[in-house]
Structure 1
Amino acid sequence: MSESILKVADDLWTGARGIEDTHPFSFMGDAEEVADGVAFVPSFANVSAISTDDGLVLVDTGSALFAQHVHDTLRRWSPARLHTAVFSHGHIDHVFGVAPFEAEAAERGWVPPRVVAHEAMPARFDRYKLTAGHNEIVNRRQFGVDDLVWPREYRYPDETYADRTDLVVGGLGLELHHARGETDDHTWTWVPERKLLCCGDLFIWASPNAGNPQKVQRYPREWAAAMRTMAGLGAELMLPGHGVPVVGVERIRQALTDSAELLEHLHDETVAMMNAGAPLDEIVHTVRAPQHLLDRPYLRPVYDEPEFVVRNVWRLYGGWWDGDPAHLKPAPAAALAAEVASLAGGPGRLADRALELLEAGDDRLAGHLAELAAQAAPSDPAVQAVRAQVFATRAQHEASTMAQGVFRWAARESQERSQEG
């Protein structure tokens, strides 16, 4: 990134540029000093570096793909050894940048860096090993990266904590606080002396990633509480896990309280309908995020989206059954599709109607019929071509990475099957 990351941050806040054109997961660049003794590396994921008298503290270390770049660009900013790395959470884009610093320490005879994280992180890494194949498939689909390889080995933390721990490095105090949010092992870091808040993925310049349809449970209520706590700190600089810094006490407070309000609204409205006995289908098509919050440049649904958060709240409190009795012990999807296709006059009729609905702007219903047609006639090239068209169009109409990833995967799957036929 050639221009200052702080200039980009200001432009995004004021609306001089749009977040849809500057996706929070697209920032890549060199280390930039964003405050005295504090550097920020925009990457996947971001890395925050803090200078102390005993060496550097890093909050997050980036992904394996960018680990060497992170090391090299930070070395152009500071020659000091890496003393401590704090993992904000265990997602693989945050925890794979320690190795170059460890190799450097061994080569120069330095004390190796220590890694500090929440006590739930080792169990996360264990789970990642257990479900490596599944995670590989899910993330290939989510991000559209066919050659993504899910790691089988991890750098486990040297020290863990439960609710809070205080570190002192080179005379500088750092507070590490646990919060369940996007993950169960999340840490936000507060450096009071420098009025610096490193929030990890609790804020990412997008509608909170509290509903990802292909990943494990998120915790919106506790997430909102953590954001309100952070909002009260009086931080002057907030460095997120994705996206750009937020500068200034008022901007930081607004960004965090707005984000908390969004999650609280989705959570509370969903729970109220659950308590009234509403099934999931009714809740999903009733609960909506306040539009004035979605209009904020830092809460646009460009990665996750509120509808998925509603589903995650249901999953948290209500289990896997959605309230439809036919779904408790359903027939095989292909059998249901075949029966519906027979009643409609064949899979081709379903496919034709899907295109009519797509043309009329009813993407959701078109998706149902295209899927039913393809399940009823999986070897029919014409039907698969319709499914490809429907879901490719749906992907074009979506704003969130989550929805785009699934719909593009479906479109490509059917495009390949139609060509095979």
Structure 2
Amino acid sequence: MNPVELSSRIIDTGNPEPPHNRVLDELFEVEDGVAVVESFSHCWALKTQEGLVCVDASGSGSGENVVEALRGWSKDPINFIVYTHGHLDHVGGSGAFIEDADRRSQKKPVVIAHEAVLDRFNRYRLTGDWNTFINKRQFGGITPRAEVGTTRIGIGGIGPKFLPESVADPEITYEDSYLLEVGGKTLELNHGRGETDDHTWVWDEEKKTVFAGDFVIWTFPNAGNPQKVQRYALEWAKVLREMITRGAEQVYPAHGLPIVGRERVEVVLGDMAEALEYLTDATLELMNNGARLDTIIHEVCVPDHLSDKPWLAPLYDEPEFVVRNIYRLYGGWWDGDPSRLKPAPDSLLAKEIISLMGSIEKLIERAEELAEKGELRLACHLVELAVQSEPEHEGAQRTRASIYWQRRSAERSLMSKGIFAAAARESEATYGEVTPRTKMRDAVRKSME
């Protein structure tokens, strides 16, 4: 189905028609001279009198398919690639674009990005194994030590390095804004912080069009990812407000469906901004009253009138994680509990609690009782204590696996599902029964349905 027609119907009716984040590796021309290859992430292409400008290059696992789809639409040289930010699902496919230029004896594309993208790439090189580990865990996998540095990341790198050597570094970088003039078209690149600190959104004044990158993703804003560096909820909202103020009539995101029509733009971007502003205001109010993080994460939630919007569904990130990130940004890493400022090792605390209960079996039994009642947060605490006390206790590990599979089934967001599934598989691995892991791209598709 045409993505514009689908998007317009969803926004006009307020009824979801999943999947809203389609990973098809197929090209749709959404207007004359503007096309999208829906992938993970999307690649947007604009025709100019001198050739193509592409916004994002998709991931290394999809780059070749994206280029093939583009070449079915236009054989013109690809003069520029704009990275909206440095996440691998946006830059990983750049090598395929360069190879395509070489095959056609065309000049390779010039890559433009915010200056902080280079800092991100350097950080990825410093923490390659760590990023491999956390990205596998995010999508429900575990990384045995023998696999570190050698495993394909479905949305990122292929090969021995998390940041593939084929990824093109930006040749042109900017600090606040950059004016790209090419082939009779003028595009304004603007920096903003939201999901990342290196984010670019592209403004076409003539057509009142925003190429939004990950500022719009058709799920709840990814401002809380529990395994990633700091994210910026309030600044994200300010960028969305600026897009509205500019008079945007089309918003073309890197994930999800195009938004066409000024009223639809105002509805979707306005709802996203309001949700982020509310979470920030409510969190800061409690912080200013001296509340601990524990109180804040259990009291602050999205207002009811926003919670059922199809474009705010917590299918990838979720509001509770965003609240944690807001607290971290303004309040630091300590959660306010003095016992956790300089805590004892978890294993020693676990042994003390088990000694009070009389046996590890009693702790396991209580965890199972809580899980049967649906009190999964408490059940997870207790079963973690059991495993921390005796990591080789098969009964504890089996109960842990069972509870975390149950916890995974009860969650909506991919991040929660992935981490809980990884925990279950971690326990299964101790007694030799590992549940097969869904391929990451398939997991992404399923999570967005």
Matches within 5 A, 1:25-104: 26-104=22-100
SS at 1:342 equivalent: helix
- 1:232 equivalent in alignment to 2:248: no
- Runs of 4+ aligned residues of structure 1 deviating over 4 Å after TM superposition are 14-17
Matches within 5 A, 1:6-405: 6-14=4-12, 18=16, 21-22=18-19, 24=21, 26-144=22-140, 147-149=151-153, 150-153=162-165, 154-405=167-418
User: For residues 134-171 of structure 1, what are the alpha-carbon distances to aligned partners after superposition, in whole Å with 9 as ceiling and x for unaligned?
Assistant: 00000000013564342253321010111111111101
Question: What is the distance in 2 between the residues matched to 1:203 and 1:407?
Answer: 26
User: For residues 99-148 of structure 1, what are the alpha-carbon distances to aligned partners after superposition, in whole Å with 9 as ceiling and x for unaligned?
Assistant: 23322333433222111100111000000000000000000000135643
Question: What is the distance in 2 between the residues matched to 1:292 and 1:58?
Answer: 37
Conserved 8 A contact 2:25-2:65: no
Give % identity.
Answer: 47
Question: What is the distance in 1 between the residues matched to 2:45 and 2:77?
Answer: 11
CA RMSD of aligned residues (A): 1.6
Conserved 8 A contact 1:380-1:418: no
Which sits farther off after the overlay, 252-261 or 227-236? Answer: 227-236
- 1:414 equivalent in alignment to 2:434: no
Amino acid paired to 1:335: L
Displacement of 1:96 after TM fit? 2.0
User: For residues 2-59 of structure 1, what are the alpha-carbon distances to aligned partners after superposition, in whole Å with 9 as ceiling and x for unaligned?
Assistant: x32223323443568636x4162x5223111001110011100011111100110111
Question: What is the distance in 1 between the residues matched to 2:238 and 2:61?
Answer: 33
Question: What is the distance in 2 between the residues matched to 1:136 and 1:406?
Answer: 14
Question: What is the distance in 1 between the residues matched to 2:61 and 2:80?
Answer: 21
SS at 2:196 equivalent: coil
Displacement of 1:282 after TM fit? 0.9
Amino acid paired to 2:243: M
SS at 2:200 equivalent: strand
User: For residues 53-85 of structure 1, what are the alpha-carbon distances to aligned partners after superposition, in whole Å with 9 as ceiling and x for unaligned?
Assistant: 011011111000011101000011111110111
SS at 2:301 equivalent: coil
Q: How many positions carry a matched residue from both structures?
A: 416
User: For residues 160-202 of structure 1, what are the alpha-carbon distances to aligned partners after superposition, in whole Å with 9 as ceiling and x for unaligned?
Assistant: 1111111111010101110010000000001122222110001
Q: State the partner residue of 1:4.
A: 2
SS at 1:65 equivalent: coil
Amino acid paired to 2:7: A
Conserved 8 A contact 2:25-2:38: yes
Displacement of 1:286 after TM fit? 1.1
Amino acid paired to 1:393: Q
Conserved 8 A contact 2:27-2:70: yes
Conserved 8 A contact 1:344-1:350: yes
SS at 1:183 equivalent: coil
Question: What is the distance in 2 between the residues matched to 1:277 and 1:222?
Answer: 24
Which sits farther off after the overlay, 273-282 or 121-130? Answer: 273-282
Question: What is the distance in 2 between the residues matched to 1:349 and 1:308?
Answer: 32
Amino acid paired to 2:188: E
The 3 A distance-change label for structure 1 pair 23 and 374 is farther
SS at 2:84 equivalent: coil
Amino acid paired to 2:421: R
SS at 1:44 equivalent: coil
Question: What is the distance in 2 between the residues matched to 1:304 and 1:95?
Answer: 21
Question: What is the distance in 2 between the residues matched to 1:166 and 1:16?
Answer: 37
- For structure 1, the 5+ residue unaligned runs are none
SS at 1:189 equivalent: strand
Amino acid paired to 1:148: R
TM-score normalized with structure 1 length: 0.95
Which sits farther off after the overlay, 376-385 or 44-53? Answer: 376-385
The 3 A distance-change label for structure 1 pair 355 and 18 is farther
Which sits farther off after the overlay, 320-329 or 98-107? Answer: 98-107
SS at 2:299 equivalent: coil
The 3 A distance-change label for structure 1 pair 241 and 140 is same
Question: What is the distance in 2 between the residues matched to 1:276 and 1:202?
Answer: 31
Question: What is the distance in 2 between the residues matched to 1:23 and 1:172?
Answer: 30
